Structure 1
Amino acid sequence: MDFSVYITGLTMGLTLIVAIGAQNAFVLRQGLRGDHVFAVCLACAVSDAILITVGITAFRQISAVMPALEPAMRYAGAAFLFWYGAKSLQSALRSSHVLVAASGNAVSLSTTLATCLALTWLNPHVYLDTVVLLGTISTQFPGAETAFWAGAVTASFAFFFCLGYGARWLRPIFANPAAWRVLEGVIALTMWLIAIKLLTGG
């Protein structure tokens, strides 16, 4: 296995997944409540692994049949990332959000998993990140896709379990709006760096 490609997959996976969206906010909330944390983290990580696998295995096949698709998706993905980065930067400059743990009675495991899977599989951004963007980036490493896949999947498992089980230590931090602004600024920078990488083929 090409370790450098593995690290690239790990880095790309982490930078794409770190953005605070509905899915991550849900994992954070469950972690803060200590409610079905393992099941939620596992469901998110396995879902990501499935989508990453589809993206990395299917993109080369599709690109072979439709050579124009890969560059089209590359530029479309870069455009989206520039827009997303700008949105994150705007949020960093203006946001006053804080993370508030949900209160109330515990929800059943089946209901919790149904909500988690809906937030994952019904979110178009998840497909863009895993199937389209990671699939596109993986085509830059012919013969080493398995290493890239392993890195990206490792990133998903590591991130979701760290997020879920580390949430209790994050609560005091994200009670401060400044923490959200810093995070959004970092997200904006990483999104732009990935977009540049897509455009330059680097």
Structure 2
Amino acid sequence: MVNLMNEKEDTRQPSYFVAFPYNSDSYKGSTVLDFEPSAQYSRLHSYLKGTPSAVSQEMINEDGSLEGGATTYGGDAPSRLLLYSEYNFIRAEAALRLGASGNAETFFQEGIKASMAYAGVPAYVAEFGSLVGTEEEMLEQIINQKYIANFGVLMENWTDWRRAGFPDITPIPTPIAVYNEVPRSLFYPFNEVSSNPNIEQKESLQERVF
């Protein structure tokens, strides 16, 4: 997420993440695949966690990371379920791929604007709001922006990835994870299979639902 937003100097980052180094305008992502995991990365911020407390200078380490407990949050951020931004990205995809009414780029831009408004930051539609390339490339633009806009919305981004394949995700391999790929579906549970003789269990977690 951080890397995807860094590519476009995304103005939502100050709402989504704590800068690293602290008090800079830089953001650094982190993954369990990092060769040397450390505390030197951007943490989740007010968009998901609510109003932050002030950070005292003595709680900022020399490398720009924060001491544990350097800031607390009010927990007053809303639980986001179905957003107006998501609605517009859905309509953008429908117009692009299915010939649904309306203009895909107009919906795409409206989705970006709505997401920026939720984050309380200026929109960058003028620079990044044009759909360009092949249909597949335009779809990737739509899904990537939908992915950013749905930050903190459970399940939707996984569902979009399994049907569209975007954004480009690097799976976490075993033994760090229990499975080498991003699952596209889940096995039917034992109690369903044992109770319903008509169920045919899936052969792998890569079988598509869509």
TM-score normalised per structure 1 = 0.29
Higher helix fraction: Structure 1 or Structure 2?
1
- The structure, 1 or 2, with the larger RCO (C-alpha pairs under 8 Å, 6+ apart) is 1
TM-score normalised per structure 2 = 0.29
